[in-house]
A and B are shown apart, each in its own frame.
Chain A
Amino acid sequence: MDSKIKLPQIIITAFMAGLFVLAALLGMDIPELISGSFTKFVMNGVLVLAMIPMINAGVGMNFGLPVGIVAGLLGMCMAIQLRMTGIAGFLGAVALSVVPAVILGLIYAKILNMVKGKEDIAAIFIGYSFIPIMNFVWTVAPFTNREMLYPVGAEGLRPKISLENYFGSVLNELFVLKLGKISVPLGLLLAYAAVCLLVYGFFKTKSGSVMLAVGENEKFCQLSGIRIDRVRTTAIVLSTVIGAAGICVYAQTYGFVELYNAPLSHSFPAVSAILIGGCIGRQAKISHAVLGTYLYQTIYLLSAPIANAILIPQMSEIVRMIITNGIILYAFLKQERRRRQ
């Protein structure tokens, strides 16, 4: 029953199809848009997967995604500092971000376990309060690679560090398949599939299935002798680690490591995406994340040029905000209605 696609997903898919038609009518380059949709999809896909462990453990949406992102940024900065390049550089960055992700995740979990019942709002504010602290850290961190530092004064990390000489686009350019005019980034898709498979596999293990049970019925698990807080901590740390890996994938596609306030802009779209994919309430599946990311990112990708063409310039940003925040609100209403039944 859960795996069936429900009405909201059909509406959104229809909306997306409508946008494609409209784009074609406006004479836009459809193959390029389709190719772009693949890259956009994977670029954000892993960040959306970072929602899954926390939702499934009943900790709520991972509004504190910036915590994981910061860990990923730290990892990438270290990789750049060590001048790691290519695929190895990318994997090195991911590996280097695991340690900060685990440490930050443990702190994040500690806080969320103290505010049971209000995790969502607490997570939002953890994100908001953590970023200014990191802003301070970025300016004083002892990195010495000149390409990372402000060109003038050579102190403090610059807001946008180019990955061109390191591991920018390494996955995007891996095994690109040309289908007529459409180019399919196979390497990127495979990498994403691998992460999906890992997460899927995790929920088949003993500690994964306990996580699902805790999310479904915390009291039951407690009375069965399961240490709830420990399971929740595992889920939060896992979400944080996936978030860290997610920003690495994002950055290599984007070509830049964005520091300072940038991490804040990722959490709402990611939450929105998994909700669009059909996740309401306490169970999130990989399929929700995959479908949701594709729909959300593609609609955004299409609506930007279309809105700019037929409406006023900059309209796309407004449309995006409406979709992102509206969907989150919709999901909360839906959850509440379910709870009352």
Chain B
Amino acid sequence: MGEYVLEVRNLEKYYGQNKVLDKVSLSVRKGEICGLIGANGSGKSTLMNILFGNSIIAGTGGYSGDVVFEGEKVQISTTTEAIGRGIGMIYQEFMLIPEMTVAENIKLTRENTKRIFGRALGSELSYVDWKKDSEDAAAVLEQLGFQIDNSYLVKNISVNAKQFVEIAREVNKQDLKLLLLDEPTAVLNDEDAGKLMKVLKELAKKGTSIIFCSHRLHEICEVCDHVTVLRDGKAVSDYGREELDMRALARDMIGYDVTAVKKERRNQEKKAVLSFRDFSVYMPGEFLDRLNLEVYEGEILGLTSLSGHGKLAAGYGVMGQFPVMGEFLYGGASMDVKNVRKTIEHGIFLLPDDRKNMGLLLEHSVRDNIVFSGFYGRNLFQKKAGYIFSVKDKKEIERYVKEQIEKLDIKCGSPDQKVKELSGGNQQKVCIARAVLVAPKVLFVMEPTRGVDIGAKEKILDMLVQINREQGTTIVVASSELEELKRISDRIAVFCEGRLSQILPPDASDEEFAFAFTGEEGEDGQ
């Protein structure tokens, strides 16, 4: 094998207090395809951004560690510099100009110019040779094995085609030494993904090194010479071509150990309380694609997926936070998700994952937060004070708040303390107390244990089970912590790329879960 084109040593990167890359090392030889896998948030994109000199890196305090490119230690701080060194990048989202034609997009910034004008006015002002550009573009598209008329405007072509145009743009660069691909196949169908794999292999043969990010394990296994698995910012394992094994990769990527399920299974009547019919939610970053699912009365249903694959979308869609398509039935009746108040009056409630921005009134006291939804949304704690105005029943509020603080063990100085001064776990407990007061029939809980210390975690999980058993509340928990879902759920629905991939019992094997997470089950011919 050839010499190393890229070596990354002990790369560390913080976003504020968050460590997103933790001593990551990686090396790529000339003409090698290096796979990089990991769940969203594992640091893949950050690593790519560092290598490509994205300004977001310098803007958030730079990084530490070494990047060695072609034997030279470099600190790439702008994308222009990265391109100058022969690094190309293809993003998950398209970086194309919709109002330009395919050919123009491919040749942008590397246009052929008419020499006579170039001499007179300098290359920046010389006349662009459209014909030559178009020929070049056609040639490179042909090399990719993709047929499309060059003169179409990019805004009018399909998503598949856009991805190929993007790839063609990078491949057309004469001195491309390293190509970074961030989930290039996410939007492609199988056939086109296959084509792309072929192109990548050919490119590698010609000596371009490639770093290839993907969730799709079979693609990784197909093209990569070696694979690095990232999890929570750490490079957890590294496999050579011959050791590649989808199961091992999946397990490393999701990263949990198997433990026994503690909760005994219950026999339940399967009476649907919520039904989703072709329910799509257009939530940015968490698209949910035509969900068909029944939620049974009295159960705890877990929803899980890698982040960005749709586990959160169902709840937010029901609460009218994002545009939806399809139907959502509650007790057999179709619901209008836009009328949030009515949804809540019917007894559906949601605790959001983004506590600071959606789940709490940070500037208000613990007391106000606990009673807010009940008091204002459900008109609890009101008493007529002799005149027409109804007033707060302060005594009753005080009693309830005290009771909840004790029951949930919320650590706060007094009910008057501002919520923003509490720790994450205690904030989450405040949220739960708020939901308990509303006493919903169906409760959606998003990431209840994210950013919560272990002690509080147990309390919160206990509380969810308790609400379920004592109040008979049907609970839908969306969480990325599979281990916790296994402990409390009756069923677990796993999503992949916005589609429901499997509904598994909590005692299903970890292999089953791993495959459900990556959506590989269907393709293995089941």
A227: chain B residues within 8 A (beta carbon): 341
> Main SS of the interface on chain A?
helix
Query: Does A223 interact with chain B (Cβ within 8 Å)?
Result: yes
In the complex, whether B376 has a CB less than 8 A from a CB of chain A is: yes
Q: How many A-B residue pairs have CB under 8 A?
A: 58
Chain B residues with CB under 8 Å of A223's CB are 319, 340, 349-350, 352, 358-359, 373
B363 close to chain A: CB less than 8 A: yes
B377: Cβ under 8 A from any A Cβ: yes
Over the window 386-427 of chain B, the binary record of Cβ atoms lying under 8 Å from chain A Cβ atoms (1 yes, 0 no) is 000110100000000000000000000000000000000000
| Shortest Cβ distance from residue B75 to the other chain A in the assembled complex, whole angstroms | 25
CA separation between A206 and B390, bound complex, in Å? 9
Is the CB of A210 closer than 8 A to any CB of chain B? yes
Taking CB atoms and an 8 Å cut-off, the chain A residues in 222-253 that contact chain B are 222-227
Q: How far is the CB of B362 from chain A (nearest CB, A)?
A: 7
B437 CB → nearest A CB, Å: 11
Q: Which residue of A lies closest to B340 (CB)?
A: A222
Q: Which residues of A contact B376 (CB under 8 A)?
A: 206, 210, 213, 221, 224-226
Majority-rule SS of B interface residues: mixed
Give every chain A residue within 8 A of B115 (Cβ-Cβ). none
Q: Which of A216, A222, A225 contacts B378 (CB 8 A)?
A: A225
- Return chain A residues, CB-CB under 8 Å to B321: 219, 222
Q: A213-B372, A225-B378 are in contact. Are A219 and B345 (CB under 8 A)?
A: no
Judge whether B377 and A220 touch: CB under 8 Å: no
Across the interface, do A225 and B362 meet the contact criterion of CB distance under 8 Å? no
Residue of A nearest to B351 (CB): A223
Determine whether the beta carbon of A224 is less than 8 Å from that of B372: yes
A217 at the interface (CB under 8 A from B): yes
Residues of B within 8 A of A221 (CB): 376
Say which residue of B345, B350, B358 sits within 8 Å of A217 (CB atoms). Answer: B358
Most buried by A among B363, B376, B390: B376
B364 touches A216 (CB 8 A): yes
In the complex the two chains form, what is the Cα distance from A267 to B319 in whole Å?
A: 38
B363 nearest in chain A by CB position: A216
CA distance A217 to B378 in the complex (A): 18
B344 CB–A CB distance under 8 Å: yes
Name the CB-closest residue of B to A219.
Answer: B358
B34 cross-chain contacts in A, Cβ below 8 A: none
Enumerate A196-213 residues with CB–CB distance to B below 8 Å.
205-206, 210, 213
Q: Which residues of A contact B350 (CB under 8 A)?
A: 223
Question: Per a CB cutoff under 8 Å, which of B340, B359, B363, B392 touches A225?
Answer: B340
B341 touches A225 (CB 8 A): yes
Nearest B residue to A282 by beta-carbon distance?
B363
How close is B432's CB to chain A, nearest CB, in angstroms?
14
Q: Which of A206, A219, A283 is within 8 Å of B352, CB to CB?
A: A219
Q: What 10 A-B pairs have minimum CB-CB distances, sorted nearest first? A: A225-B377, A225-B344, A224-B373, A219-B358, A224-B377, A225-B341, A210-B376, A217-B361, A216-B361, A222-B340
A interface residues with partner B (beta carbon < 8 Å): 205-206, 210, 213, 216-217, 219-227, 283
Interface CB pairs A-B, < 8 A, 16? A205-B389, A206-B376, A213-B361, A213-B364, A216-B363, A217-B357, A217-B358, A219-B352, A220-B358, A223-B349, A223-B352, A224-B372, A224-B377, A225-B345, A225-B377, A226-B341
